[in-house]
Structure 1
Amino acid sequence: MKTIKNIGKQLVFVFGINLIISGCFKDDTTFADKEVPLIEMNADKTEFNIGIGDYVTIDPQASQTFGDQVLTFEWALLDNDVLEVISEEAVLNYQFIGLGTHHIRLKITNNDGGIIQNYTVNVVTPYQEGLIVLSTNEQGKSDLSFLKTLTPEEEEEGLESAFETGVFSRINSAYTLSEAVDMDFTDERISITTRDNGTIWMLDSRTLTVIDEQAYANMFAGFSPLKMVGREHIRDGAIGDRQWNDNYILSSDGRVYGYSSSFNEVFETVRLESSVNYSIVHGHEYNIFFGQEKEPAYYCRLYAADTENDVVYYLAESGYTGYNNSGALFGNAGIDIVNMVCKDTGGSYDNLFVVGRGKGANSSQVYVIMLQYSYMSKINGYYTYEQTEALSIDENTDLKYNLKYNRVYYFNDNKVYQWYATENAEEPLPMPDDSVIDLDAGLEITCLEYSDDYSLMYLGVNNPALGEMSGCLYVYDIQSMQLVEQYDGIAYKPTNVFYKTK
């Protein structure tokens, strides 16, 4: 039953229809002495989610406030303001074979007017949205596992979501994925880097089918990927100039290469000296509208470090000429670079935090140097403290800043650590025993990622006691540090995990 407010809107529309297209409808009287029957319909559900190739059925259950005039139905697809009539039946039953979001306009009319109702149909694949895990076993065989996020329709049916394993090998039976080490994604593609001849795979992000595979070890001697950064920049769909980079890949030969996700192409970057041995690459996503009611605007700061000569390089963003480096700053200060993490929201107080150890007789001193996030030779501040024990991080630790809670989280063996790194905190790094998550002995944390809103932490965990399918996924609420979901034996040893969006 329509509310008075909705009926009022419909009445306005009825009068508008009669004024605009009065020549199309017969009218033997005036509005003053003729009561107009209003058309009513059930519009409780206006958005539908279906699989590719499935039919959507929409029953508007139209009626009139009185009388029995003939109702005329017109269903039309709306694409770039162009209408295509697809049915004139009272109930729509239409098959969609194209992925994506489709808009339908229903117009119902009688002799005195009509109403319009808009619908949205999302045509998705089983891999449209959910958690995806990349894993590799001891023999080097790699695969993908996927946990589908249920649609409202599936939840209404009482379906329960479960991990699907062996997704890559099942969908792409003609291919073999081996020695995978990392993955990244855009709206349209997933890129998987492997140590198998330096091969990089490009998949369709909606169907997980192979688009392209290219082996680069023959092109670049020594190319063997370790880590990939820059996802959030390319997620905006930027292709960039080939002189610059969409992503950066750290290789085991100590070089950093550029990577174009649009062309699945690796190339030598013009920004970094090829003779330098790099040991760290770091990419930091920030959303300049984070916490605001605006559409996300993602950027990614990209950095590399040469820990042998203690130099930090700012790689900026694709196509941006802000490249610079710290020069002899750390060497002159007698500091060995250990690792780095960026806090960046586009604000004036954001920094790249560089953690270092003093050299020689000063080795018990730990330094935290705050560099301006876009200018590596400018120091915004620093603090130091004494610690003779080993740090809870090294150059292989993947430090991840959480913008929601202004904390850095990272893992080591079976422990997760939390570090409060801001411009005024001056907080020491946690000691090796000061963990916020401590898993059972024998378990090994292999990767860490956040949900898009930074409220959840996804931990890839290896449990050798489970056999070949040793990979597990633990999901924690970051605010409470409570385990909210645990999935055991859902993959090989995890190498990467992220929440894949539409």
Structure 2
Amino acid sequence: MNRIKYIWGILIVLCCLQACYDDNSRLADQPIIEVNILPTAKDSINIYFNNTLEIKADIESETDELTYQWDMGLYAEDPKTGESTTVFKNISQEKDLSYVVRELGHYHLRQIVTSEDGSTIKYYHVFVNSQFEEGFMILGRRPDGKGSISFMKTLTPEEVEAGMQPSFMQNAFAYANEGKELYMDPVDVDKVGNYLYILHGESQKLVQIDAKTFKEIYEYDFKFYELNFVPGRLMAYDGKFSTEFEVVSRNGGVAMVQTQQQAIFPFPGLPQETVYTDAYDRPSYTSSMTRVFISKDRDAVCWSGANGYDPFFSYQNCFDYFKNRKVIKLFQNLDDDVYVISRDGGQTKITGIKGMMYNFAGGGGLWVLFERSVREGIVTESSQLLPNDYYSCVFVSNGNKVYKWFYSQLDIDATPFITLPEGEEVRCLNHYQCSRSVSDAEYQDYSRQKQFYISTYNPNREGEYKGSLYIYDADSGELVNKYEGISYEPVSMFYKIK
């Protein structure tokens, strides 16, 4: 019996020795597989949305048996400890990262490389910015009649230092909306707060897009308001209290768009005996925005101020003053006085009208400040007019020429202030315009108007894009910059602020 016990003891010891001999486990004398993530990208990355975030991973390791993971989430941190509380979402399991970023914001990116012995982690801060933050915007009409946006971002000092050059991006709306295009017959565009509103005529659409990303937010359809309502003019101002604005129909009538209710209503303030088919509007210090409506027969105007919808004080017609005339163009100065240019028989005349229009002091009637003939052949129906508050003048286009007309002058100079290259047709005039939401002092700093912008169209220009942008000094008329062949046929142009 003792011999049997002895034999069993020897067998157990031999089995244990065999087990130790065959064991391939990692003991203290076996090296741990180390994984190092070598730097191939900066810890802080700036990128435009809808662009591809690419990082080529450079991994230092003794084995190729590695797994990879990339996670990203909006950056958040604990306000007390300062530690990251980002909620991560897996975006890739490839070694190299290639990921299209779709949303703006500050993101935390996590790179994880795992071996059988553990994981190595590296973090990045990713700032997704907009290439549409601030800059020149041109709403154009393509040869097929559809709308298209060309945009050139104003570069930040960091972007300039990095060697970037300003350039126009064409088809910006389609780029931001995964290929979707604007509608037929674009006619106008305005910035209101954080949004842009793009108006279409024959398509009867008003498209609301995010002003930073150009992503579509909402569509208004005027067919559901009135079947024959064909939009021709959008009147809105950029301010935090701007929640409703007017749209004039080419067929006659004025509608009011209320953005809070996302609805279209009849505009209540105008005299009902006249049909209006056109209008003029401009930003105003005293009333945020002023409007002057033009009748279907172009023989009557009606001015509106900021006195609510009282038809007597807020909307005054011209008391048949322009009957048997044809209103060609009009504009307003800094004091909201109205300058009407009309054809009276064989003469072109300018009529200066006090902003209130109604002559209380004179016992009634239209408050006419002056009326006189002007030089023939310069102001036409296709002319573009741009009042300049800093120099107290108005710029007037005719073909490829721009004239500078001071309010103190009795007539327009016969010599053009600016002559653009042969073949260019002026389609839009504009200058820098700040938001009405800024302080009064900042808003009244009209020195921003020392430069003005001219958008032109040249049907004979080679290439797909026949629209150009020229920037001029408003005092000397010297060319500051030019960008030629950068848009489709311009419909509306302005400098979009943040």
Taking structure 2 as the reference length, what is the TM-score of the superposition? 0.66
- Are 1:490 and 2:490 an aligned pair? no
CA deviation after TM superposition for structure 1 residue 403, in Å = 0.7
Letter of the structure 2 residue corresponding to residue 155 of structure 1? V
CA distance in 1, matches of 2:491, 2:378: 21
The yes-or-no answer on 1:352 pairing with 2:333 is no
User: What is aligned with 1:441?
Assistant: 422
Distance 2:145 2:49 in 1: 34
Specify the SS of the correspondent of 1:330: coil
Residue 171 of structure 1 aligns with an amino acid whose one-letter code is A
The residue that corresponds to 1:342 in the other structure is 332
Report deviation, 1:203. 0.2
User: Which residue of structure 2 aligns with residue 112 of structure 1?
Assistant: none
Task: Note if 1:476 corresponds to 2:472.
Answer: yes
C-alpha distance in 2 between matches for 1:310 and 1:162: 44
Match of 2:431 in 1: 450
Q: Tell me the equivalent position of 1:42.
A: none
Whole-angstrom distance in 2 between the partners of 1:435 and 1:269: 40
Change (3 A) 1:482 1:316: same
Q: Which is greater in Rg?
A: 2
Matched, 1:303 2:292: yes
Cα pair 2:358 2:367 within 8 Å, conserved: no
Post-superposition shift, 1:225?
1.9
CA offset digits 1:114-173 (Å, max 9, x no partner) = xxxxxxx99741111111111112211221111111112112222211111111112213
Cα distance, 1:429 vs. partner? 3.7
**Which whole-Å CA distance do the structure 1 matches of 2:198 and 2:80 have between them?**
40
Secondary structure of 1:301 counterpart: strand
Residue 377 of structure 2 is aligned to residue 382 of structure 1:
no
Q: 2: CA distance between counterparts of 1:263 and 1:284?
A: 25
Pair 1:440–1:158, CA change in 2 (3 A) = closer
- The answer to whether the aligner puts 1:248 opposite 2:239 as a matched pair is no
Aligned to 2:314: 323
Question: Within 1, Cα distance between the matches of 2:131 and 2:257?
Answer: 28
2:174 to 169, 176, 196: 169
Match of 1:278 among 276, 279, 290: 276
Q: Is the 8 A contact 2:270 2:315 kept in 1?
A: no
Deviation at 1:325, TM superposition (A): 1.6
Q: Is the 8 A contact 2:134 2:495 kept in 1?
A: yes
Query: Equivalent residue for 2:146?
Result: 141
Residues 228-271 of structure 1: CA distance to partner in whole angstroms, max 9, x if unpaired?
223x2xx212255xxxxx32222211323223345554332011
Which residues of 2 match residues 46-65 of structure 1 at below 5 A?
none
- Percent identity of paired positions between Structure 1 and Structure 2: 24
* SS of equivalent residue, structure 1 residue 474: strand
CA RMSD in angstroms comes to 3.6
C-alpha change, 1:418 and 1:279, in structure 2 (3 Å) is farther
8 Å contact kept, 1:188–1:205: yes
Q: Aligned letter for 1:173?
A: E
Is the Cα contact below 8 Å between 2:347 and 2:376 reproduced in 1?
A: no
Alignment partner of 1:237 is 2:240: yes
Amino acid of the structure 2 residue aligned with 1:142: G
Change in 2 beyond 3 A, CA 1:490/1:84? farther
SS of 2:449 mapped into structure 1: coil
Structure 2 residue identity aligned to 1:482: E
Structure 2: tracts of 5 or more residues without a match:
1-44, 54-74, 85-100, 107-125, 434-447
Counterpart of 2:391 (choices 405, 413, 419) is 405
For the 8 Å contact 1:365–1:384, the answer to whether it is kept is no
Partner SS, residue 271 of structure 1: coil
**Which of residues 189, 192, 197 in structure 2 aligns to 1:191?**
197
Name the SS of the counterpart of 1:86 in structure 2: coil
8 A Cα contact 1:131 1:500, kept in partner: yes
Provide the secondary structure at the position in 2 that maps to 1:168.
helix
TM-score by length of structure 1 reads 0.66
Contact kept in structure 2, 1:372 and 1:378, CA below 8 Å: no
Return the letter of the residue paired with 2:240. G
In the alignment, what sits opposite 2:456? 461
Alpha carbons of structure 1 residues 353 and 183: separation in structure 2 relative to 1, 3 Å: same
- Number of equivalent positions: 376
| Aligned equivalents of 1:260, 1:413: Cα separation in 2 | 37
Partner of residue 214, structure 2: 208
Are 2:257 and 1:259 aligned?
yes
Distance in 1 separating the partners of 2:357 and 2:222: 31
- In 1: Cα distance, 2:342 partner to 2:290 partner: 21
SS at structure 2 position matched to 1:169: helix
Structure 1 residues 412 and 85 mapped into 2: Cα distance closer, same or farther (>3 Å)? Answer: farther
Residue identity matched to 1:278: Y
Q: Deviations over 1:394-425 (max 9, x none)?
A: 4554432111111111323222122112xxx2
Structure 1 partner of 2:404:
418
| Matched-pair contact (CA < 8 Å) for 2:337–2:352 | no
8 Å CA contact 1:307, 1:338 repeated in 2: no
Alignment of 1:144-163 (within 5 A): 144-163=149-168
In 1: Cα distance, 2:356 partner to 2:319 partner: 18
Which amino acid in structure 2 is aligned with residue 476 of structure 1? Y
TM-fit CA distance, 1:366? 2.4
Q: Would the alpha carbon gap of residues 239 and 319 (structure 1) be closer, same or farther in structure 2, given more than 3 Å must change?
A: farther
1:192-247 CA-partner distances (Å, limit 9, x unpaired):
001242011000001000111232135313222222223x2xx212255xxxxx32
Q: Evaluate the alpha carbon distance shift between residue 317 and residue 78 of structure 1 in structure 2; reply closer, same or farther with a 3 A threshold.
A: farther
In 1, the alpha carbon distance for the partners of 2:229 and 2:277 equals: 14
Distance 1:330 1:196, change over 3 A: closer
Following superposition, the deviation at residue 495 of structure 1 comes to 0.9
Task: Classify the secondary structure of the residue corresponding to 1:370.
Answer: strand
Could you report, residue by residue, the CA deviation over 1:56-112 in whole angstroms, capped at 9, with x for unpaired residues? xxxxxxxxxxxxxxxxxxxxx999xx9565349xxxxxxx999689xxxxxxxxxxx
1:466 is paired with a residue whose SS is: coil
